[in-house]
Amino acid sequence: LYEGREVAAELSTMGVPVTFITDSAAGHFMADVDMVLVGADSILADGSLVNKVGTYPLALAAKDKGVPFYSVCEFSKFDVRNYLGEEPVLEEREPSEVLDNFLPGVTVRNLYFDITPPKLLSGIITEEGIVEPSSVPRCMEKILQQYLLGP
């Protein structure tokens, strides 16, 4: 849905050199990359990253090429509901966004998010610095304490 177009344009206007590629070509270009930065829809209690579908294979390609892979987000993206036992629900959207005409015998799945395991993350860059995925449970405990006790 052309979501990267705005980011590329904004970076370019700030003087950042930009090469625009399709998501599916990321593995091919990974050897030329210094670092991967992605956002986060949420961070799960085990340090996993829930983000736009395609993030997991991007992290696999980065790991294969020895490229550091970071998520950048605020602590508000840390899913304390997951810490308290609620399982994440990965959003699925209308099949018509992928295929606009019916094909007999074809089922369309339009998954919007995937889960990247913590072993593929170099860290999570937050407003308070870099958090190791293994430290996420402690961060969530702190977030809950602040919520319950107030500032």
**What is the number of alpha carbons within 13 Å of residue 49 lying toward its C-beta?**
31
Q: Is 63 exposed, middle or buried (0-12, 13-18, 19+ CB in 10 A)?
A: middle
Compute the 3-state secondary structure of the chain and give helix, strand, coil in percent, each to the nearest 5.
40, 20, 40
Strand-pair partners of 78: 43
Q: Which residues are catalytic?
A: 41
**The dihedral formed by the CA atoms of 114, 119, 121 and 127, expressed in degrees to the nearest 10:** 100
Q: What's the CA gap between 93 and 142, in Å, rounded?
A: 34
